Amino acid sequence: MLSYRHSFHSGNHADLLKHLLLLALLQKFGEKDKPFTYIDSHSGAGIYDLQSTNARMNMEHESGISRLWRRDLAHPLLQRYLACVESVNQDEQLQYYPGSPAVAQWALRAQDRLHLIDLQSAEIETLRGFLGRDGRISIHQRDAFEGLLALSPPEPRRGLALIDPSYENKADYQRVVTTVRKLQRRWPVGVIAIWYPLLAKARDQSDWLKASLLREGLEGISTYELSVAAQANEYGMHGSGMLVINTPWQTQAQLQGAFDEALPLLAPEAEFVIATHD
């Protein structure tokens, strides 16, 4: 039974990192006319009202999108990110925040395909209402890991999978490793982007996850970690990371440039670290 609802967290610093990287990867695929596939294994609802009761509980967007909203930003990736968020808002007020399915739809061309997977009925219902009429998009209510493998290799094969579990279930860490191993065999040309939390010392499993994935002998691995506070001992998420397999050329440079500009706006103690693992 899943209790995680992304509406409590939408637009926070973790979404900011994830969606900036997602936009950079999708932009890379869009540089050639050839179609691509995007698979989102943990889609969530696709659109979030930042004025909802859930979002107002902790106002997490204040650690992310709200820091950049209406700013005059110079880096092209930051400009694209703001344009994408603006596309779901009517006026200058920030009310809605796009989830990863909406970010991907914004970057999609007529020839591209999207597969969106989630298990929760409420999220699937919102997704269907918001994106269900787009003929390029298929929405699947099923288990993320099983669904991702069943859809792979997709047609067209050129493409990207985002794996974005909540890790509410600790088995998700092991399931990510096992699924990526199988996925890479089925879809060796696929770019795979995995999100993971950076947690308090007593709970953090990011080093285990990275080491386990690195042992799989995968190609072109890079990691991107954004923290907005110091690591606590017992509780809390101070940041998050993304691990990319088959990293497209110039992704690191693009993200570094964007965060050189964005980092001072996020938090005084914010840090951004990119690593390549050859």
Query: Known catalytic residues?
Result: 164
By rule CB under 6 A, what string of x and - marks binding of each residue 58-97 to ligand SAM? Answer: ----------------------------------------
Stretch that binds ligand SAM, among 37-45, 55-63, 234-242, 259-267 (CB under 6 A): 37-45
Q: Which residues of 130-162 are buried (b: 16+ CB within 10 A; e: fewer)?
A: bbeeeeebebbbeebbebbbebbebeeebbbbb
HSE of 140, CA atoms in CB hemisphere, 13 A: 19
Residue 122 binds to ligand SAM (criterion: CB under 6 A): no
10 Å CB burial of residue 110 (0-12, 13-18, 19+) is exposed
CA–CA separation, 250 and 253 (whole Å): 5
Task: Write out the two tokens for 218.
Answer: 């995968």
| The binder of ligand SAM chosen from 73, 82, 119, 267 (CB under 6 A) | 119
- Considering only 42-50, 56-64, 130-138, 263-271, which stretch makes contact with ligand SAM by CB under 6 A? 42-50
Whose CA is closest to 20, among 179, 188, 244?
244
The tokens for 81 are 């990110």
Q: Is 164 in the site for ligand SAM (CB under 6 A)?
A: yes
| Shorter beta-carbon distance to ligand SAM: residue 120 or 206 | 120
Options 41-49, 76-84, 148-156, 230-238: segment touching ligand SAM (CB under 6 A): 41-49
Q: Which residues bind ligand SAM (CB under 6 A)?
A: 2, 4, 6, 15, 18, 42-44, 99-100, 117-120, 123, 143-144, 164-166
